[in-house]
Amino acid sequence: MASGARPTAGARSGRSGSAPHDALRDALSPGLEIDVFGPSRVPLEEIERLLGLALASAGIDDGHVAVEFVSAERIAELNAAHRDEAGPTDVLSFPIDGEQPSPGPRELGDIVICPEHTANLREAIVHGALHLTGMDHETDDGEMLAVQREIMYWVTPSDDP
């Protein structure tokens, strides 16, 4: 995916799943197109919801995102090729269109996740999507990680009835 080649198979959705209450439901957009590749323990509907919330936090309500779950070997290859970092990592994001208008449907980018190096797959999905919006926790004085914590608070079931 990150090489620029379009994926040829996967789960596809033109609409995100339902949310537990109105504020979350309103954040989801039918304008998002999401492709998911590789095995994941997170259901497709939840991936859609997490992506919808993360993108909506930056005012993005349309475009295409691909998420791929890969092996440690594959993410290590991508990490070396694109970040000059040796070894596997948890999540990589590859923004494509940016903020400039595109001639066709908006291509937000690709998120690549290595489940075996990820403590929380849901948080990795949110983290990757926030990077696609242009956020960068290495340069933004904590803004991205604060948004990530807020989204995770919204989507994490509480023990209270």
Mean pLDDT, consecutive 10-residue stretches, the chain (161 aa), reads 36 37 50 92 94 92 94 97 94 84 80 96 95 85 89 77 46
- Domain parsing of the chain, residue ranges: 11-98+105-155
pLDDT computed for residue 141 by the predictor: 77
This prediction has a pTM of 0.78
pLDDT computed for residue 159 by the predictor: 54
In contact, 53 and 24? CB cutoff 8 Å: yes
* Whole-angstrom distance, CA of residue 89 vs CA of residue 75: 7
In contact, 79 and 72? CB cutoff 8 Å: no
pLDDT computed for residue 29 by the predictor: 65
Half-sphere exposure of 46 (CA within 13 A, CB side): 15
pLDDT computed for residue 3 by the predictor: 40
pLDDT computed for residue 100 by the predictor: 66
pLDDT computed for residue 17 by the predictor: 36
Phi, psi of 65 (to 5 degrees): -130, 135
CATH code for the part of the protein at 11-98+105-155: 3.40.390.30
